[in-house]
């Protein structure tokens, strides 16, 4: 369990969220991961038309990017989801829940967008993480 992060599910006077913390802070090295889409290593779309398959690929890509910085999903303090249809959020949550600690979820924001940079893409997710001092890739 990561101890350099503090999670506050619901500050006084704020209704608890479902599957996210309202506030997360930490000490250490900041890592920003650009929005990841359902592209494989060759740039091909994975799971065209299938939000669950795309979400799994997105979180696999996020994991690879975090690892490049020496981070894991346990270090993530914020996830931002861009979806072309909020109806895709259950598939996104399922893929997310496979990689995060549900007892200490990161802060998060979900936004429905008109489109992403390729029409066959259904979602994009970016991550912010804080690593403990001294941990390097």
- Per-residue pLDDT reduced to its tens digit, 17-68: 888 999 998 889 999 999 999 999 999 999 999 999 999 999 999 999 999 9
Domain extent at residue 86 = 5-131
For residue 126, the model assigns a pLDDT of 98
Query: Looking at residue 122, which CATH number applies to its domain?
Result: 3.30.1330.40
Contact between 70 and 30 under an 8 Å Cβ cutoff? The reply is: no
Q: Exposed/middle/buried for 13, CB within 10 Å: 0-12, 13-18, 19+?
A: exposed
- For the full predicted model, state whether its pTM sits above 0.85: yes
Q: Does residue 137 form part of some domain?
A: no
Q: Does residue 136 form part of some domain?
A: no
Q: Does residue 62 form part of some domain?
A: yes
Domain count, the chain: 1
Contact between 129 and 75 under an 8 Å Cβ cutoff? The reply is: yes
């Amino acid at each position: 369990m990561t101890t350099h992060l503090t999670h506050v599910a619901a500050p006084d006077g704020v209704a608890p969220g479902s599957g996210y913390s309202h506030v997360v802070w930490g000490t250490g090295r900041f890592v920003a991961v650009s929005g990841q889409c359902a592209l494989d290593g060759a740039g091909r779309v994975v799971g065209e038309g299938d939000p669950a398959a795309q979400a799994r690929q997105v979180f696999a890509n996020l994991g690879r990017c975090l690892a490049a910085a020496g981070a894991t999903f346990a270090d993530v303090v914020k996830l931002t989801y861009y979806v072309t249809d909020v109806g895709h959020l259950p598939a996104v949550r399922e893929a997310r829940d496979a990689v995060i600690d549900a007892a200490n979820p990161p802060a998060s924001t979900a936004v429905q967008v008109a489109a992403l940079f390729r029409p066959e893409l259904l979602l994009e997710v970016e991550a912010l993480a804080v690593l403990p001092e001294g941990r390097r890739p």
